[in-house]
Structure 1
Amino acid sequence: MIGCVGNDFIAQSRKSSAVTSESTLAFIAAVLSAALAVAAVLRNRRGGAAWWFALGMFGLALDSVLTGVCLSVIGLEKLAFWQEWALILKAFLAVIWLAFAVTYSRGDAGESFRRWRILIAIACLLPVAAFVGFRGDLIQVLVRPNSTDLWISFNSAGKIVNVAILVGTVLVLMNLERTFRAAVGTMQWRIKFLVLGLAVIFFTRIYTRSQALVYSGHNNSLTEVEVIGLLVGCALLAVGYLRSRFREIDVYPSRAVLHTSITVLLVGGYLFIIGVLAQIVARYGGAASFQLQAFVVLVAIALLAVLLLSEKIRQRIKRFVSRHFSRPQYDFRIIWTQFTQATSSAIDDPTLCAASAKLISETFNVLSVSVWLFDEEKNKLRLEASTSRARNAMSDDAIEFSAIDPGLTKMRKAFDLEKIKDDWGRTLRQISKTQFSEGGNRAGVPLLAGDRYLGLIILADRVNGVPYTVEEIELRNHARQRAGSVSNHLGLFRARLKECRFHA
């Protein structure tokens, strides 16, 4: 539907040079999106998440092309036509990216997709219904008095589609957050820029969709914000590709993370803020500057998130507070409480070792932590958990080796792995390769239960490569003793259970 008011005014007021530059940015963003889609498929053709990612990036590329067309179109009929197609495409994109978010880097990707399949199917039907039943009645293009920009107004059906897009986008970000928070150490480092890039893209779209809902429409030029967000997001995604070639990890996010979701808190707070600002603007005027104010708030939140996710910055803040405010760097009571809670529910070695590796990585700012247990039957060390390797990669023969050398089993204290010249030292260095040249020396921490040798923890890639302080060395020794004690009790429990089954 079209409000044909002032076509001559539009033609005279809009400058072709500005339109050309705006649409050019949209076409550049489309090319970058398509290139990233191709790169993802070429890198990992077998991964289901890789194909969802490629489909989503191609969809974003097509959406950016439609944005470029809309920014360069002056006629009201043509603009209404292309804006409707863009709205329907955005609804499909929310579905595609939700399928990606629930399968990306998930160890239980198939089960995760099955849990979401009904919602995904329903979400697929919405844009189809909008296209079949309300085509031509989703959007109304108007010219507001004393304005040089076209106003895209949404009818009732268009508002429903906008709500669905907004909810779908929030669900995408929420699932990406769950995956990111479940990862730790080097695995989190690998996916960080991919998650950040997508977060920028989708938070920008949350901004534009929220504007459309608050005002029942938006200026045609507001879509430029989505183009800028896509350009910035593609830049971050490119960094992520250079870091890890979009290689997936393997995590199992907790379902309980929903009630503490940062995404929900941020989006809820943002929508509340723009709702209050919208009421102020409606009462006192100043709508022309409101979009800029809201966008500045969104950019500030995004920059703050980038800073808070930086391990280097967090480490420097912690050391600054400890040095200048005479506070201990670690609260032993809190750390032991966390360790007890993480290991108390462990009923097998993989669960115990994974919890220990995660806690050690987060406490000491070590990105690569691997826990090796001694298999007495095979007389080998076996990799049980790691923050730098996915579980599906642990079938590699290189991670299991006959290296129970007397020199290794006699080690009772933590040691600098780089200074070990024996054969077992070279073997350990070979199978625990570092990811960062500035990560400092690798450290080996024996796991003991009295005089019994249980295994080994290898710490590598420490943030900024800073040496361990006396306080950290003491804490590290207590941690290994606690982990060794729990592992020993689990071994005794398994032996007792096996004996009971035998007699039964």
Structure 2
Amino acid sequence: MSQYLAILPLIGALGSLSLGLFALTRNPRNSTNIGFALGMGCLAIIEIGYIVIIYAKALPTAYYGVRISIFGESMLPVAWYMFSVAFAKNSVTKYQRGKISILLVMLGLSSYFTLSAWLGDIVATTTDMANVVSYSMGSQGRYYYIYMIISMSLSVAQLENIMRSASGAEKWKIKYIIIGVGAILIYFIYLASQSLLFNTISILLYPITSIAIIIVTAMMAIFIIKHRVMDTDVFISRYIVYNSLAIAIIGIYLFLVGIIASGINYYEIASKYQISTIISFALILLLIIILFSSSVRRKAQLFINRNFYKHKYEFRDKWMESVSRLGALGSVDDTLTELSMMITETMGASSIEIWLANYNHKTYKKAIDNNIAGRNTINYDHPMLNMAKEIMRPFDISDELRNIAAESDRDQIKELAGQSEAVLFAPFLVNGEIIGFILIGSDISGENYGTDDYELVTALMAQVARQIKSIWLSQELIAAKEMEAFNKISMFIIHDIKNLANSLSLVSHNAKNNISNPEFQIDAISTIENTVSKMKLLINKLSFDRSPSKYQSGVIYLDEILAKNIKQYENNSSKQIIYIKNISKPLRVLGDSEALNTVFTNIISNAIDSIQGKGEIKVSALKSKGNINILISDSGVGMSREYLNNKLFQPFSSTKKMGMGIGLYQCKCIIEAHNGEIHICSKEGAGAEVQVILPENNR
């Protein structure tokens, strides 16, 4: 063999090694990248062995090259099987453990045959170096190539599952790397089959092998760099009968090659090696077409279902699969995308369109369309929906179209179905309401959908309809809670403004009789300044969108807050009220000064409002067992037992004619946010007592 041909394996070795290292550097800890790098490394080792063979001038050197190439070949199925298993991120642990067990067995056998090659059991020796164009197989050679065919067939089957499980943009993204790896494996299956048929290892095919490696490496390099293929995870589905399709096809290929080779040997046809090579390549091409043809695979599945099973689908398995794949999804978009994939995979649908109700506009809007052009919304009274409301189950569009009398209605139905070439309509039904529907294209095999298909779609649609409705209700509940939180904030703000307005009202009322009094003037100005300060603080709270359950934390003195509130009302009250005070000093607590001031403003204000004419208010604040116990009692009208038992601390419930029923509710929220307690005792006509307990801060 000409030494100039060594340039081919040299290019192949450098290209394979470079691409493998590039993939590894992208994510050196990812098992997919490691498997790919090992696979490309094996190809580089094979090419290095070819270089040694081409340049060899003595038999020992040539055999050394053969051993190197066999080492690369024997590890090739291990590396690519590892890549294919890692690339298919299967979520079933038991299933994954089975794949790892196969990988370990393959590693053991590959190691054994590598050792056999170095011991000279794979390739027989020869004494004629000058005319060597092939090497005879040794005692272990036949077993080695049988193992190679079986192990690489498993990898091809795994790659087929990955390709079949991917969809849409994901399939386009991984398509060429899967085809590239599959082509390499199938080519080496071909080489192994040739060695078995002719009991020799031909070195004339080495340059062809190098060319194949260079082409495949270049193709994969372009798509790995351009489409970031190593960042893609494909979750494959498990159907054992279908998984055997690739292995069955490879078995048929080997059977046909065996018959052809036997015929060539029997009739002693000249140039039998060249003829068998051409026929084998033709069969490889046919094999690739079959493996990656969706329609052929679909027809094979239907053939298996019709002839080996009572029903087209294993409904229990399908139900478990739907629960597993759909049950954990929390958004409508994810649920519909997964449903679209399931129907495409299971029924072989050529197209999918999913529509959902838009209640605000009384229309149905397209949610999933797989890039199908056409209208995106239809009205509730569209003829297709009117027909569906009468049938209330999945139906064949063309069959039901015959029952439509009005030509204009038929045209609208044809237009809607025609934009996705749909043949089957299936509604999302919840309590007799169509919340959406799906338009399913024809089976890619060309066969009509049967009873099993309709039953499967009915079950899937019922499950997904309930799930969509549940998601919608959850979203409405979240929105309602957000509105409730907004309303709560609004109530608190309005009540705070009301209290501030009451303070100013007291000042204006007393100013009529005391405006000339210097002491009143000082107190009035102080009250106005204090009220303005509180209003500014309230505006700041709104600016920062602070929830009433989140307060600033700092050491504050309750005795000062209580004294300040009592003084404010003592000097600005139109009623004759006596204040009896028993407040210890200091009373330190950890909390929000403004929030706690709001609490005691509300309580004292309520006490004043409950007193008609004359009365008294007692304020006691004492330390007790690590807590501060505040008691505020009044001699007012009190509260009824019915109010105390059923309406106390409830928003919008008040004993005052003009009250909003917010003050005590707000007080309870603030006190509980400070890890405290608030209790109220009262009798109708005998006043009320409010007890507030807050943890003392001793630091």
TM-score range, shorter chain: 0.5 to 0.7
Residue number in structure 2 paired with 1:301? 286
User: Alpha-carbon deviation of 1:262?
Assistant: 3.3
Q: 1:59 to 1:409 in 2, by over 3 A?
A: farther
Which letter maps to 1:288? Answer: Y
CA distance in 2, matches of 1:343, 1:253: 14
Asked whether 1:137 is paired with 2:88, we answer: no
Alignment of 1:255-334 (within 5 A): 255-259=238-242, 261-285=244-268, 286=270, 287-301=272-286, 304-305=289-290, 308=293
Q: What is the alpha-carbon distance in structure 1 between the residues aligned to residue 470 and residue 359 of structure 2?
A: 26
Pairs within 5 Å for 1:5-404: 14=1, 16=2, 19-21=3-5, 23-108=6-91, 113-132=96-115, 135-142=119-126, 148-259=131-242, 261-285=244-268, 286=270, 287-301=272-286, 304-305=289-290, 308=293, 346-347=322-323, 350=326, 353=336, 354-359=338-343, 363-365=349-351
By relative contact order (CA 8 Å, sep 6+), the higher-ranking structure is 1
Shift of 1:113: 4.6
- CA distance in 2 between partners of 1:303 and 1:270 (Å): 11
TM-score by length of 2: 0.47
Are residues 101 and 474 of structure 1, via their aligned partners in 2, closer, same or farther at CA, if it must alter by over 3 Å?
A: closer
Corresponding residue SS for 1:102: helix
- Give SS of 1:255's match: coil
Tell me by how many angstroms 1:356 deviates.
Answer: 3.3
Q: TM-score, normalised by structure 1?
A: 0.64
Larger mean CA deviation between 92-101 and 131-140 belongs to: 131-140
The residue type paired with residue 488 of structure 1 is A
- Hey, what's the Cα distance between the residues in 1 that align with 2:41 and 2:18? 9
The change in CA–CA distance for 1:295 and 1:347 in structure 2 (over 3 A counts) is closer
**SS of 1:156's equivalent?**
coil
Aligned partners of 2:182, 2:171: CA distance in 1, in Å? 15
Q: CA deviation at 1:229?
A: 2.4
How far residue 442 of structure 1 moved from its aligned partner, in angstroms, is 9.6
Match of 1:472 in 2: 421
Question: Higher helix fraction: Structure 1 or Structure 2?
Answer: 1
Q: After alignment, is 484-493 or 93-102 more displaced? A: 484-493
How far does residue 96 in structure 1 lie from its aligned partner after superposition? 1.8
The number of residues matched between the two structures is 384
Following superposition, the deviation at residue 468 of structure 1 comes to 7.3
Question: Residue by residue, what CA displacement relative to the aligned partner does 1:333-371 show, whole Å, maximum 9, x if unpaired?
Answer: xxxx889999755347716742434425963447xx899
Note if contact 2:45-2:68 (Cα within 8 Å) is conserved in structure 1: no
C-alpha spacing 1:244/1:257, structure 2 compared with 1 (3 Å): farther
Partner of 2:406: none
Give 1:269 shift. 1.6
For 1:130 and 1:223, locate their aligned partners in 2 and report how far apart those are by CA, in whole Å.
21
Identity %: 19
Tell me the distance in 1 between the aligned counterparts of 2:191 and 2:155. 16
Whole-angstrom CA distance in 1 between matches of 2:17 and 2:355:
40
In structure 2, stretches of 5+ residues that fail to align are: 298-311, 328-334, 390-415, 429-435, 438-457, 472-699
Answer yes or no: is the 8 Å Cα contact 1:33–1:60 preserved in 2: yes
After TM superposition, give the deviation of residue 192 of structure 1 in Å: 1.0
What's the CA shift string for 1:50-86, capped at 9, x where partnerless? 1111121122112112123223334322212221232
Q: Cα gap change, 1:239/1:305 in structure 2, threshold over 3 Å: closer, same or farther?
A: farther
The structure with the larger Rg is 2
SS in 2 for 1:413: strand
Deviation at 1:411, TM superposition (A): 5.4
Q: Helix, strand or coil for the counterpart of 1:363? A: coil
User: Once the 2 structures are TM-superposed, how far is the Cα of residue 439 of structure 1 from its aligned partner?
Assistant: 7.6
Contiguous gaps of at least 5 residues in structure 1: 1-13, 315-336, 373-405, 418-431, 451-466, 495-504
Amino acid at match of 2:70: L
Query: 1:445, 1:31 → 2: CA distance?
Result: 58
> Would the aligned equivalents of 1:107 and 1:252 in 2 still touch at CA under 8 Å?
yes
Query: In 2, are the aligned partners of 1:153 and 1:217 still within 8 Å (CA)?
Result: yes
The CA distance in 2 between the partners of 1:232 and 1:41, in whole Å, is 21
SS of the aligned residue for 2:86 comes to: coil
SS in 2 for 1:108: coil
**1:259/1:356 Cα in 2 relative to 1: closer, same or farther (>3 Å)?**
closer
RMSD, aligned α-carbons: 4.3
Write the letter of the residue equivalent to 2:192.
Answer: R
